[in-house]
A and B are shown apart, each in its own frame.
Chain A
Amino acid sequence: MTAEDQAHRDGEQPVLELRHVSTHYGLVSVLRDVNVRILRGEMVCLLGGNASGKTTTLKTILGYVKPSDGDVLLDGEIVTGLPTMQLVARGVSMVPENRRLFSNMTVAENLELGGYLRKDKDKLAADREQVLQTFPRVRERLKQKAGTLSGGEQQMVAMGRALMADPKVLLMDEPSMGLAPVLVEQVFEIIRQIRALGKTIFVVEQNANMALSIADRGYVLQTGEIVLSGDAQELLNDPLMRQAYLGEL
């Protein structure tokens, strides 16, 4: 994406936006004045070390926790603090950390639950077909219990489950978390495939290199504050970025 494109999109309404969001757990401040804009078709990553507030950001978006200040907007509409279910119904979908499949249900049942709230049966079938085309491995395993799949396959099912909701924006919580290096590459390959479908993706990651290499833009979170943001390529080359990311400021 060129700078011109970026300028052109400045006036555009973001699919998902965090406006001055602060979140507290009890009296402890976890997020302070976080601003994030995610445009249609973009892949944006949120980077940060341990306890920087990455997962809390996702929880705030999904309504698991209510922000103490600021707003979450979906397609320009304020959705702050709505119950999770309603956010899902409005098109926010998440791939949880560690995949967290319903491991004793079949892969087919997992996918089915992904589209649990959908009423448009025809489109649902089409989306299911698209997921299965994107991940042929998943099709082979449809009748198998999800818990018996390999890690990479499970990740595909988790992504597939989230895609079944036909989300406006797909949230991913640390997709590389706890995976061996070879698998991390596999996972990012999967994300690249999903991107190719034209989905809007917001991914939270510790693995900055990997995430930035496939993202359009990135935000860097440190102890609850956005300390850096910008074009993915710029961030990759930013000397400050690595310092911030490593918490060595």
Chain B
Amino acid sequence: MFRRIPRVVRAGLVAGIVSVYLCLVGVVGSLVTDVVGRITVGRVLLSIPAILAGFLVARPRVVSGEVRRSSVRAGVPAGAIVGLTTGALLAVFVGIVNLLGVDTVRNVFIAVKPGLMSLLTFGHAGVVGSVLRIAAEVALGAVGGVIGAMQDRIRVPTVIAATVVISLGLLRRIVHPALAQLGLRDDWLFSVVTLGLTWFGAAAVFVVTFVTTFAWRANSAAIRARTHRTPATERGVRVVVLAAIGAGLIALPFLVGSIFSQILGTVGIYILLGLGLNIVVGYAGLLDLGYVAFFAVGAYTTAVLTGGSRVTTTGYAPPSFSLHLSFFIAIPIVVVVAALVGLVIGAPVLRLRGDYLAIVTLGFGEIARVLFSSDWLKGAFGGTQGMTAIPAAPIGNLDFRNTQHFYFLVLAFCLIAVYISWRLADSRVGRAWNAMREDEQVAEAVGVSTVRYKLLAFAMGGAIGSLGGALFAVQVGALNNASFMLLVSITALAVVILGGMGSIPGVVVGALVLIGIPGVFSEFEQYRLLLYGAVLMAIMILRPQGLIPNVRRSQELEEEDVAQDKWAGAVTADEHATSPALPLGEGTG
């Protein structure tokens, strides 16, 4: 049915549904930060579906084996029809809301407010407002159509420049202090009144980005061809790049200020969780949904060992067992405890695989949270009230309660974890994990002790994850069970999946995207889960191997069947045989 509707209308319908959805969940109405001039985030987001749909229908595509490009002249009407459909759906939405009354609808969809309706209809009631909305959507769709129909060399810089402008409009809080730090004025860029970009600033940024990208894309190939690349210069380039990254990492917290340093600290904690989970899931192929257990063990063990207090109804009290170790002396103990917990969790699930393993570990994660907050262990961990006054870990002048200093502590731990992960991947142990993940039974048949290596994966993964927990304890100074919800496990897993299973750079990028971006664009904080869902769905559809895939893992996903098909093909084609190969499977002898 849906397939028989013309493509252009179909795109418009999808865009319209998305637009209505954005209105209903409140993204449009409640995000009122100004991006450029008086245009709020909500308005920008509302305009994206139509532009995107127009863009997609006008984009070059392959029709029955041939690339078909639409001219700009064809792109405009196509985009306009998309916009018309989108606008019509929005008009219907406005009509229904008006018919039922805003208050009635609001009983269910609390985001539907008079403000939202006036935003949709440009402040005009009745038919005029709906017509204005439709006209606006037609214009937006046409813009999308134009962009889509443009030639690559213009289209790509346009999209990049627009993205940069919008991002910059949301980033005053990070850009302003950074520029001030460098002694630069930015009142031409950011309006002092709206705190968004000024129109002049936006135009300037757009032009500069456009020209730079355009010039780079036009000339990069030529420049690369001109520069001679010998192994020596390659090495030189690598050293320079590494030095630049190093310098950037060190300068970063001072450039971005303390609020964003804190976000970076949290990103670092999730990098640690991701790296640990990556060993369990990415390397060893054991799907663990209860990874939060290690986060909790790391955090609570650190609290107990460094002398945190329990929160009681009458004030603070020391836990039943308490040491006042320095953080850095406590850390090795924390790691050992977490590794032991890994063994304890790993032992009973040795025989489980896939879904069953996931369900059981899910339970373990929840058990850990319940135990730490239970009345039974109240004396040790403070029950539901949790623990507080966890000491920071100063070295000399560095006080790690200061977010900028804390960043360096996290950075150091992350570097250690990256190094360990990297070495493990390429070791004898890593190869055993690889073999186990690919075929457990055969791995055993070549002498890989799956018992030993599964336990090792849980222990190693747990140890690295516990570092994240320990740092979390130091970062916030107080713990209670709300910090150890299932969501932590899910987020850590999402970090691993988004980046690409088994890939170390993938974990870093995954954490930056899933923790860093919502942190930086704090407008979206309340829509964090919506964003996660959208991002993960997009990844599953567009790039199932992850953003920066581990070469081997991505092949596993893609080529599982290809190898068999190829084999069957080889049997029939190359060997001139008649019967195709039987599908692989367990035989019953």
A positions within 8 Å CB-CB of B: 48, 50-58, 62, 64, 83-85, 88-89, 93-94, 96-98, 100, 102-105, 109, 112-114, 116-117, 145, 147-148, 150-152, 154, 161, 165, 173-174, 177-183, 204
Contacts and interface: CB of A to CB of B under 8 A. Distances in A.
Contacts of A145: 555
Given A104-B559, A173-B589, A151 B567 contact: yes
5 contacts: A98-B584, A104-B438, A104-B556, A113-B431, A148-B566
B449 interface: yes
Contact of A100 (B439, B575, B581): B439
A84 B450 CA distance: 10
Contact of A183 (B432, B571, B584, B585): B571
Given A116-B446, A178-B582, A180-B571, A102 B434 contact: yes
B40 to A, nearest CB: 49
B563 interface: yes
Contact of A102 (B442, B576, B584, B589): B442
Contacts of B589: 48, 51-58, 173-174, 204
A51 B588 contact: yes
Given A114-B446, A204-B589, 7 more contacts: A51-B589, A54-B589, A83-B451, A103-B559, A105-B552, A150-B574, A180-B580
A113 B448 contact: yes
Contacts of A154: 567
B227 interface: no
A36 B571 CA distance: 35
B501 to A, nearest CB: 13
A-B interface, 9 closest residue pairs, ranked by CB to CB distance from nearest: A55-B589, A54-B589, A180-B577, A178-B582, A117-B447, A147-B563, A88-B447, A85-B449, A102-B438
Given A55-B588, A100-B439, A150-B567, A177 B582 contact: yes
A96 B445 CA distance: 9
Interface in B555-573: 555-556, 559, 562-563, 566-567, 570-572
A143 to B, nearest CB: 14
A84 B444 contact: yes
A189 B526 CA distance: 67
Contacts of A183: 571, 575, 577
Contacts of A98: 584-585, 587
Nearest to B582: A178
Interface of B: 431-432, 434-435, 438-439, 441-449, 451, 552, 555-556, 559, 562-563, 566-567, 570-572, 574-585, 587-589
Contacts of A117: 446-447
B441 A105 contact: no
A57 B439 CA distance: 21
B63 to A, nearest CB: 32
Given A51-B588, A52-B589, A182 B577 contact: yes
Nearest to A147: B563
Nearest to B557: A104
Contacts of B444: 84-85, 88
A182 B571 CA distance: 9
B576 A182 contact: yes
Contact of B581 (A53, A88, A102, A151): A151
Nearest to B569: A150
Contacts of B559: 103-104, 147
A97 B435 CA distance: 17
Contacts of B445: 62, 84, 88, 93-94, 96
A102 B567 CA distance: 15
B588 A85 contact: no
Contacts of B448: 85, 113, 116
Contact of A97 (B434, B580, B587): B587
A183 B556 CA distance: 26
A104 B587 contact: no
A117 B451 CA distance: 15
B446 A161 contact: yes
Contacts of B581: 151, 178-180
A148 B563 contact: yes
Contact of B447 (A89, A104, A148): A89
Contacts of B442: 96, 100, 102
Contacts of A58: 589
B435 to A, nearest CB: 5
A112 B448 CA distance: 12
Contacts of B552: 104-105
Contacts of A180: 571-572, 575, 577-581
A103 B561 CA distance: 11
Nearest to B571: A180
Contacts of B451: 83
Given A85-B448, A180-B575, A105 B584 contact: no
A151 B570 contact: yes
Contacts of A83: 449, 451
A177 B587 contact: yes
B571 A173 contact: no
> A109, A147, A161 — which one has the most chain B CB atoms within 10 A of its CB?
A147
Contacts of A84: 444-445
A100 to B, nearest CB: 5
A19 to B, nearest CB: 20
B38 to A, nearest CB: 54
Nearest to B578: A180
Nearest to A52: B589
A85 B447 contact: yes
B428 to A, nearest CB: 8
Nearest to B566: A148
Contact of B575 (A56, A57, A113, A182): A182
Nearest to B579: A180
B570 A150 contact: yes
Contact of A113 (B446, B556, B571, B578): B446
Given A174-B587, A180-B575, A105 B434 contact: yes
Contact of B439 (A53, A102, A116): A102
B550 to A, nearest CB: 10
Nearest to A53: B589
> B434, B585, B588 — which one has the most chain A CB atoms within 10 A of its CB?
B588
A177 B588 CA distance: 12
A150 to B, nearest CB: 5
A121 to B, nearest CB: 13
Contacts of A85: 444, 447-449
A165 B571 CA distance: 30
Contacts of B577: 180-183
